[in-house]
Structure 1
């Protein structure tokens, strides 16, 4: 028996299904070598199937934003915005500048809300005193003796004090984060009417009445949370830098090849006309620059290139192939050929079956980006790290509050109640050998910085909104006609990463519709070429620093890896009864209703 065969016999199977503290039915199945303290194998699964791409067909396209908002109970507004972008391209519609600015303010509030809630009330539980005491008591002892470098900003003397502040339900910061998430929801509702399914967002504009108090109320709330935003960045830096020092080699936890995708966020109303023919230009004017990063380098920031490179592979998922189906779109509006595996041409053919890790094992398909030679398994890094990385390298964002520097992003925040004005610097992360680094800690670190980025951009949008109001330019809607036939695509950033909606209209009805949020990109199973999805790739091979043995093993390093991507499974898969089956609710005779 060879050494490798012996080791495989000694592997211990460990699974977490469902993963807690996230929405959805994500399962992670691993084989662990406790001798080498390393994950030898990983499969990620989703047992949930829904089906928006099926039941959207035949609907009035103007309803698409309201329907697709229900894909997710967390980032529904991101779907509404992205759907409206796709519709506006198909209709040839352009909202007035103030309407676009109102949407941007709403989306900025959503980023602040969701990232704060997830980072401080879910992710940071994995780094709180209670968890670290259970999984790495030696690390906690060192944290008690380690002074926090930024104590003058956040007020916690030691690293252990920060960890205690994040203890669930009791910690000071944990409770503060819940308050901030409430305030940012209020900011969101001022712009988009209702959280999480907007009531005032439509193709062509918004229904929000642009009173001056609408924006001053938003601004007062924004100023009220700035202390927390600044302190959160300092606390995240202190804790994550401490982990690198306390556990040498921890940079390898959750590390994978740097393959990042960002589709861009916050349209610039002075440049965006929603025409596909000019999408390369107005895409680069977004306030978060789209881009594909391969091995740390920017491959493209052209939305046309990004669109044409998208491929949906079946891989190890529960679907039949549509390779022989008639394509909906053979060429884009610029005359470029469109692949049969592009979202415009996808046909969803679900095939329920038993899970088999040697065959098919998930309801999530395998989106990939084709660079002409390889189908790249891009991830979103949970959203922020890809957004910051792409914006940094593109060097196109430059305003009074945010500036891309080529190797990072500079974020300026004004004076707040307790803290002076601050300029925060997010730098593209590298390991000690100078290689670009995308791992669990850097994905999490970027999230705190992007909350600051969103807060800074909110000041840009507020200035722009008040400029239009003071000039009397308060138009918020432009009318349009639904064409007989058209195609459209919307590109946006959901909170946790890339979001696209691809729309085909025929006979003024939806002929094909495919939303692709970040979850399918991140949670995809092995594709048709055997390439693992990002969750699988990041977990597989990761070293284990937990001090517990196999019997008490919590899998904390695995959980930190998976949660660093901000998983949200409802966006990954969709519901379908199929074959005319009918669901019936049976009532008990004891309640006086015996039929059914």
Structure 2
């Protein structure tokens, strides 16, 4: 659109866009690159492209495998959240085999996954993402903000022990900051909790279809509970500390709510099965999905579109657009209809055929190995570029709006908020925190939700601990149910990886895997422009983000862009894997003396 100029007025100077790239993005795992065009005159990002340079290949080499190996193989998709993949794969196999685990097995699995949320969110939030808000970083990018932080009293100083906002920032300095080091110790405790329930981290050794191989004893749960209560006490410091920090940024930088802002398009697939309801039958999936301890749901502009896992499943579409693949429209259809008789789309994961097509990167055509998962909204006829907000904001938002979760005084979903109650600990009294649905889906609120969900996961663990001990006291110590693998079957599993939505879809033919597609959160968040030109969530959130950094183009750090991208908790191993091309072989020669690549 041409700019209208008033008669006699001098014409506006031409806009000069500066191309800047961050490839790879640091403090994450994987090969994520962010390419931008920045308008320093208007102080905003004009364009953004999210790229990933390595191919995802698990869907190909899963073919022909024994279905019982699926969770062991898919857990290797990622060295960060491999247990989430193993769990989701087990859910998928439970459906395909028609097996229901004993209640105690489910409570143990829930305890393991709760520990994973506590471990990973704590490590990422306090030791990776929080570095963007530490004193050293703020001094380099916004010295004026640091000056104000020195003069600003922390409202919750009595709870967390830091008098000013600047004191909080100093405590976040890598390795030297007190809070930074304390968080590292908490991560260790949380990982130990996980290993007690699932054997080892991050690839579980005691997790199987039909339940778990964990030996359930009172001592096992006591060891877990001791560590859990220390973590609960730590949360009573973490939540008020981050509330003070994030509230300060809104105060110090008016307009900062626009950093990382995008329309509220959130997806959550639900987490923590309730064994009293869940039987893994597809035909009852709506009922047991709503009984999850984190409610599944799709949210558009603060409206909860659905909580029905059947609807969520059938709406998933894998589009291509700007990614390095050929379409599979003319390939075989594996599943025409679901077990309820509903038609299944050709671009649903059950029917996907992965056809890689390596090529030169071109931002006008194809530029990434990440596909474009979308959810088809039948009401509007649109393919929604859902994001997970890094996981917690979508989980809390869906759970809050649905109002279905009420866990014996630990957690209450109210319809507009989630109340989290943590009991008395060694040094601190009982507390109640309330996560309220925010005004925006933006960088700061994604980070804030991650803090609250750590407390949520701790409260879920306390609830599951009560349930598990009740099973043991009642003499119900069985943790695994036998099963057989059918010759022909389909299955799907829905779970929340740490970073958000996770689904696995499997087709079994002649007792072997004929088709298998895992879709973790990163392909959703890092997806690229689809066939309709709709940008993916990273791209959408970075585009039009205002620039508050005080540095000019010559010394630009891109801190507002980095806070935006890292608020989604990127983890590219789930999105991509290595592709060398047919007939090529990668060889690494190691020194016999030092074992290092030559």
Same fold (TM over 0.5): yes
1:212-265 per-position Cα deviation (integer Å, ceiling 9, x unaligned): 010011001011122211211101100110000111000000000000000000
* 2:392 paired with 1:389: no
Name the residue aligned to 1:433.
Answer: none
SS of the residue 1:281 aligns to: helix
Say whether the 8 Å CA contact 1:54–1:576 is kept in structure 2.
no
Matches within 5 A, 1:298-377: 298-372=304-378, 373-377=381-385
Distance 1:271 1:6 in 2: 65
Say whether the 8 Å CA contact 2:503–2:520 is kept in structure 1.
yes
Change (3 A) 1:587 1:565: closer
SS of the residue 1:126 aligns to: helix
SS of the residue 2:554 aligns to: coil
SS of the residue 2:334 aligns to: coil
Deviation at 1:201, TM superposition (A): 0.2
Instruction: Pick one of 427, 430, 436 that aligns with 1:427.
Output: 436
Distance 1:7 1:512 in 2: 56
Name the residue aligned to 1:566.
Answer: 569
Distance 1:544 1:300 in 2: 36
Say whether the 8 Å CA contact 1:7–1:33 is kept in structure 2.
no
Deviation at 1:582, TM superposition (A): 3.4
Change (3 A) 1:280 1:165: same
TM-score of the superposed pair, with normalisation by structure 2:
0.96
Question: After alignment, is 222-231 or 176-185 more displaced?
Answer: 222-231
Deviation at 1:50, TM superposition (A): 3.6
Which runs of 5 or more structure 1 residues have no equivalent in the other structure? 431-436, 592-596
Say whether the 8 Å CA contact 2:249–2:256 is kept in structure 1.
yes
Name the residue aligned to 2:256.
Answer: 250
Instruction: Pick one of 515, 518, 527 that aligns with 1:515.
Output: 518
Instruction: Pick one of 414, 417, 436 that aligns with 1:408.
Output: 417
Distance 2:521 2:321 in 1: 18
Instruction: Pick one of 243, 263, 275 that aligns with 2:269.
Output: 263
SS of the residue 2:555 aligns to: coil
Deviation at 1:48, TM superposition (A): 1.6
Matches within 5 A, 1:424-573: 424-430=433-439, 437-573=440-576
Name the residue aligned to 1:594.
Answer: none
Name the residue aligned to 2:8.
Answer: none
Runs of 4 or more, structure 1, over 4 Å off, are 1-9, 585-588
Distance 1:144 1:309 in 2: 50
Say whether the 8 Å CA contact 2:231–2:458 is kept in structure 1.
no
Question: How many residues matched?
Answer: 587
Question: After alignment, is 218-227 or 29-38 more displaced?
Answer: 218-227
* 2:302 paired with 1:296: yes
Distance 1:474 1:160 in 2: 51
Distance 1:115 1:380 in 2: 14
Matches within 5 A, 1:136-151: 136-151=142-157
Name the residue aligned to 2:217.
Answer: 211
Deviation at 1:2, TM superposition (A): 5.8
Change (3 A) 1:7 1:506: farther
Say whether the 8 Å CA contact 1:153–1:419 is kept in structure 2.
no
Say whether the 8 Å CA contact 1:499–1:515 is kept in structure 2.
yes
SS of the residue 1:551 aligns to: helix
1:533-578 per-position Cα deviation (integer Å, ceiling 9, x unaligned): 0000000001010011110110000000000000000101233444
Distance 1:368 1:587 in 2: 43
Name the residue aligned to 1:235.
Answer: 241
Structure 1 vs Structure 2 CA RMSD: 1.8
1:339-378 per-position Cα deviation (integer Å, ceiling 9, x unaligned): 0000000000011111100000000000000012000000
SS of the residue 1:418 aligns to: coil
Change (3 A) 1:562 1:8: farther
Question: After alignment, is 574-583 or 557-566 more displaced?
Answer: 574-583
SS of the residue 2:553 aligns to: coil
Name the residue aligned to 2:386.
Answer: 378
Say whether the 8 Å CA contact 2:325–2:355 is kept in structure 1.
yes
